[in-house]
Amino acid sequence: MGSRFDEMRIFSGNGNPDLTRLICERVGVPQGDATIVRFSNENIFVRLNESVREKDVFVVQSLSTPNLSDRVMELLIMLDACRRASAGRVTAVIPYFAYGRTDKKDQPRVPITARLLADMIQAAGAHQVLTIDLHAGQIQGFFNIPTDELTAMHLLVRYWADKGWDDMIVVSPDVGFAKRGRNFAEALGAPLAISEKRRVQHFGRHDGSHTSAEILNLIGDVAGKRCIVVDDEIATGGSILEVVQLLEREGAREIYACCVHPVFTASAVQRLSNSGIQELVTTDTLPLPPDKRWPSLTILSVSHLIAEVIQRIHSGVSVDTIFTQRNHPALGR
């Protein structure tokens, strides 16, 4: 199918420039020329150094740390620049959507920042959004513009499937991830175990006092098995390392882990690299500079997937068939 736009342009914010470079290589277009400046007063300024009039424009910006707020502002300002330069259509490509954990009002007087961010992206001029594995599916509904949420889980499944192991068990680190864990296990043809956090109350016998503590409980049998713990993101590493300790206690033979988004904050790298995880597999939705890498970390690229989807969006072709054909090249590394 032909495109209703003669040309496309792909611009990059500073959120993950290496990923944008790979996407442009795979699409076969030069990266759009833009200048992004942060002045001494911390104001960010963007200039597109080429015309985008009536073009199909993709702005790639992962909402990464450090300087997350700058990354958010860069994205908004780039979208505004595209709109004011009469772009024909503007797609915000956000490989990692931050604030995904602030997606509901679960305490009094708290914000829903994921919704606020979605509103700002639309107000800035995005006509549509392309993102990968949102922390919670309901965030899709925070946008009133077309939103394609891709998944990198197929990439991860294929990686483990290629190992050819017959004693794998997939482990969901919490009940909230159990459904996605179930899909992952099914795709891999492996059983599923679920780690579950429970609050246990202890009542004092004589004084009526009570204390409570959280304990992790495992649903499933991992003894003697190769465990693959799967999660959407790892930030501090706290959640996954608790699960690793539980699996060690339960007699797992070997423990592996994977996640789509390597947020890796604070001391995560040091803790993860010194843990009982034999290999951690992730993707490049977020930048991984040398100080966030270690020998048993494997990084799969989502650039093939994003490049294929950008081409399909540009040409008005369905993206669905990428995911229904398990061996589609866009789901490879």
- Residue number, 245 or 315, with CB nearest to ligand R5P: 245
**285 CB burial (10 A radius; 0-12, 13-18, 19+):** buried
- How close are the terminal C-alpha atoms of the chain, in Å? 27
Contact between 262 and ligand R5P by CB under 6 A: the answer reads no
The CB-of-240 to ligand R5P minimum distance in angstroms stands at 6
Contact between 133 and ligand R5P by CB under 6 A: the answer reads no
- Residue number, 217 or 325, with CB nearest to ligand R5P: 217
The CB-of-281 to ligand R5P minimum distance in angstroms stands at 15
Contact between 62 and ligand R5P by CB under 6 A: the answer reads no
Q: How many residues bind ligand R5P (CB under 6 A)?
A: 13
- Residue number, 240 or 305, with CB nearest to ligand R5P: 240
**214 CB burial (10 A radius; 0-12, 13-18, 19+):** exposed
**Of 248, 250, 304, nearest in space to 277 by CA:** 248
The CB-of-95 to ligand R5P minimum distance in angstroms stands at 16
- Residue number, 146 or 176, with CB nearest to ligand R5P: 176
What residues between 161 and 180 interact with ligand R5P by CB under 6 A?
Answer: 173, 176-177
The CB-of-234 to ligand R5P minimum distance in angstroms stands at 4
Q: Mask: binding to ligand R5P, 216-245, rule CB under 6 A, as x and -? A: ---------------xxxxxxxxxx-----
Annotated catalytic residue, options 179, 197, 225, 292: 197
Contact between 56 and ligand R5P by CB under 6 A: the answer reads no
Distance of CA 240 to the CA centre of its chain: 16
- Residue number, 121 or 244, with CB nearest to ligand R5P: 244
d(C-alpha 225, C-alpha 206), whole Å: 45
Q: What angle do CA 316, 318, 319 make, to 5 degrees?
A: 115
- Residue number, 174 or 248, with CB nearest to ligand R5P: 174
Looking from the CA of 99 toward its CB, the CA atoms found within 13 Å total 19
The CB-of-292 to ligand R5P minimum distance in angstroms stands at 14
Contact between 74 and ligand R5P by CB under 6 A: the answer reads no
Catalytic residue list contains 197: yes
Cβ contacts of residue 106 below 8 Å, gap of 6+? none
Placement of tokens 């159990």 in the chain = 178
The strand pairing partners of 57, in sequence order, are: 9, 90
Contact between 273 and ligand R5P by CB under 6 A: the answer reads no
The CB-of-153 to ligand R5P minimum distance in angstroms stands at 13
Cβ contacts of residue 273 below 8 Å, gap of 6+? 294, 296, 297
Q: Specify whether the CB–CB gap between 52 and 9 falls below 8 A.
A: yes
Number of separate helices (H) and strands (E) present in the chain: 9, 14
Q: By CB under 6 A, name the binding residues for ligand R5P.
A: 173, 176-177, 231-240
Active site residues: 197
